[in-house]
């Protein structure tokens, strides 16, 4: 029997182990279906990846194949400029140009009309192209506080619903007030609304705070410590494990008599990994890392090669994100140490309710410490808006080091990109912990 790879933090990473009872080698994802209301779906959800890493093209492939895809609402004004030829960033920069040299960014505010219009454009243009029986959701992160957290989040949520998104996944934050913010929208009870949590406690808090809306989430994504992007754990992330948290959430929901589908995420690399969770009662799985090397993914091809090449030693969880959440990324990410001027006049998505961002403070500190120097380095924090926008912060999942095993190495030493359909179907139909290689593009 083929060995099973398990992540053992204490033993230094992924270890090959003999399959145990529970590692059923014949079951596959396609033996299961996710039921969301009237809808029956292939139980594979491609997770949201900002900024436009989970593109409309990627999400639409998941929907076409009968699963669920996510677009991301992160930084939609700049995504809209790039995709739909709008001029939101230019206009904002024009308005706040006077402030570029200032270390105080508190006066920079978002135009709510721009947020609404860019959301409407991205969602409606994506939904117009939807084919197949699956669904497209949007990942909305609370941590994009945009110097007016409540007002901006309300617009983002409402416009996504108005523009016809099938569902919303509330991410990066506890979202204690998000259901209330949407309560007066006509689609509040018909759109599929879910939440990402990393502990049973976060789920309990969310449910308690939302009892007065008399509406439960339609699904719960349980994100473990091996995921990409921001983590819902501290720097002690390696102490936690997805299966344990998922089981705790199953037990809590059972005790409360709540039949909400549970969707584990983070480190689910093979179809058999996924089928194992489904057999244990999960409604679906959420996966992302394997799709970062799909042609439909928004990462530039040269960055995708960096993901392929990465070994376990090349991946770290660090505290450079100004959100305060740890973030996993490649160590050679160009954002690391970059001391660029804060880009808040153009972006400013991480300005908190008081117009502050930890990167601005770190940058100002280094400027003061190195007077007259043209180029400074900032290592403790990163200008996440600018770097994510430019695909210079290479956030990734822990299983990125295994991507090279999912494809062919080409004659020039590079790796063959995959199609999203290939990866999706491999998750759906593979058994025995195997991963199907794509047809060689060299033929
Ligand atoms: C490149 C990348 C970017 C991500 N960005 C986001 C994001 O913007 N919001 C979010 O909620 N999750 C984000 N995630 C997490 C994924 O949606 C997903 O839950 C997780 O990575 C699944 O684990 P896997 O990558 O091991 O399959 C990101 C993941 C990756 C790999």
Helix axes 88-96, 76-84, angle to 10 degrees: 130
Structure confidence at residue 3 (pLDDT)? 72
What pLDDT score does 23 carry? 65
Q: Model confidence over 307-333: pLDDT tens digits? A: 999 999 999 999 999 999 999 999 999
Provide residues with CB under 6 Å of ligand 1.
47-50, 53, 72, 74, 139, 141, 171-172, 196, 223, 226-229, 265-268, 286-289, 292, 395-397, 399
Q: Tokens standing for 79?
A: 């995504």
Supply the CATH number for residue 99's domain: 3.20.20.70
Minimum CA distance residue for ligand 1 atom 27: 287
With CA atoms as reference, report the closest residue to 67 among 298, 231, 274, 223.
274
- How high is the pLDDT of residue 443? 47
Atom of ligand 1 nearest to the CA of 171: 11
Protein residue closest via CA to atom 23 of ligand 1: 266
What are the residues whose beta carbons fall under 8 Å from the beta carbon of 164, sequence distance 6 or more? 123, 124, 127
Atom of ligand 1 nearest to the CA of 266: 23
Residue 17 belongs to a domain: no
Structural domain of 108 = 33-428
SS3 51: coil
Q: Is the backbone of residue 89 left (phi > 0), alpha (psi -120 to 50) or beta?
A: alpha
CA distances from 398 to 58, 81, 180, 268, 316 (A): 21, 32, 35, 10, 8
Q: 366 CA to middle of ligand 1, Å?
A: 31
Which tens digits make up the pLDDT trace of 150-169? 999 999 999 999 999 999 99
CA of 31 from ligand 1 middle (Å) equals 25
Whether 205 maps to a domain, the answer reads yes
CA of 103 to the centre of ligand 1 (A): 32
Residue nearest atom 6 of ligand 1, based on CA coordinates: 49
> How far apart are the CA of 288 and the centre of ligand 1, in A?
6
Residue 6: the pLDDT is 73
Q: Mind spelling out the 3-state secondary structure of 368-403?
A: HHCCCCCCCEECCCCCHHHHHHCCCCCECCHHHHHH
Note whether residue 337 is domain-resident.
Answer: yes
Name, in order, each residue with C-beta under 8 angstroms of 136's C-beta and a sequence gap of 6 or more.
Answer: 59, 60, 62, 63, 68, 69, 70, 71, 126, 127, 130, 165, 166, 167
Quick check: is 439 in a domain? Answer: no
Provide the number of structural domains found in the chain.
1
Cis bond upstream, residue 51 (ω within 30):
yes
In DSSP notation, 192-238 reads EEEEEESSHHHHHHHHHHTGGGT---SEEEEE-TT-SEE-SS-TTGG
Token pair listed for 415: 């790796």
Residue ranges of the chain with per-residue pLDDT less than 70: 1-2, 10, 19-24, 442-443
Closest to 26 in 3D by CA, of 436, 434, 359: 434
Tell me the C-alpha distance between 374 and 371, whole Å: 9
DSSP element (H, E) containing 277: helix 271-279
Q: Tell me whether residue 15 is in a domain.
A: no
Ligand 1 centroid to 395 CA: how many Å? 9
pLDDT at 388: 98
Tell whether 258 is covered by a domain. Answer: yes
DSSP letter at 109 equals: -
Residue 5: inside a domain: no
435 located within any domain = no
């Amino acid at each position: 029997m083929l060995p099973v790879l398990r992540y053992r933090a204490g033993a230094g990473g992924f270890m090959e182990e003999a399959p145990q009872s529970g590692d059923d080698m014949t079951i596959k994802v396609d033996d299961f279906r996710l039921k969301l209301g009237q809808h029956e779906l292939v139980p594979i959800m491609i997770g949201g990846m900002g900024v436009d890493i989970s593109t409309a093209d990627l999400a639409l492939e998941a929907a076409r194949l009968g699963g669920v895809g996510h677009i991301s609402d992160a930084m939609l004004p700049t995504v809209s400029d790039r995709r739909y030829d709008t001029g939101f960033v230019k206009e904002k920069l024009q308005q706040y140009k006077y402030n570029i040299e200032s270390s105080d960014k508190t006066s920079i505010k978002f135009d709510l009309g721009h947020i609404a219009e860019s959301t409407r454009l991205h969602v409606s243009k994506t939904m117009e192209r939807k084919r197949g029986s699956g669904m497209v959701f949007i990942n909305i992160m609370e941590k994009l506080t945009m110097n007016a957290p409540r007002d901006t989040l309300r617009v983002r949520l409402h416009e996504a619903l108005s523009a016809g998104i099938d569902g919303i996944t509330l991410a990066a934050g506890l979202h204690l007030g998000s259901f209330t913010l949407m309560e007066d929208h006509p689609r509040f009870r018909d759109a599929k609304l879910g939440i990402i949590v990393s502990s049973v406690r976060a789920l309990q808090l969310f449910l308690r705070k939302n009892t007065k809306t008399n509406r439960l989430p339609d699904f719960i994504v349980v994100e473990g410590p091996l995921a990409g992007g921001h983590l819902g754990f501290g720097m002690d992330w390696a102490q936690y494990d997805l299966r344990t948290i998922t089981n705790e959430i199953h037990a809590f929901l059972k005790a409360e008599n709540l039949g909400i589908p549970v969707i584990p995420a983070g480190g689910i690399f093979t179809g058999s990994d996924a089928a194992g969770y489904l057999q244990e009662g999960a409604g679906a799985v959420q996966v992302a890392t394997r799709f970062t090397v799909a042609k439909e993914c928004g990462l530039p091809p040269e960055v995708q090669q960096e993901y392929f090449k990465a070994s376990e030693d090349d991946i770290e969880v660090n505290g450079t994100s100004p959100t305060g959440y740890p973030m996993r990324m490649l160590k050679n990410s160009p954002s690391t140490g970059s001391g660029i001027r804060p880009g808040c006049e153009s972006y400013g998505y991480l300005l908190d309710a008081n117009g502050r961002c930890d990167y601005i403070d770190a940058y100002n500190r280094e400027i003061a410490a190195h007077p007259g120097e043209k180029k400074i380095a900032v290592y403790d924090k990163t200008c996440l808006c600018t770097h994510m926008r430019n695909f210079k912060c290479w956030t990734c999942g822990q299983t990125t080091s295994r991507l090279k095993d999912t494809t062919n190495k080409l004659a020039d030493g590079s790796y063959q990109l995959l199609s999203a359909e290939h990866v999706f179907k491999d998750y759906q139909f593979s058994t025995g912990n195997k991963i199907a290689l794509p047809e060689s593009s060299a033929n």
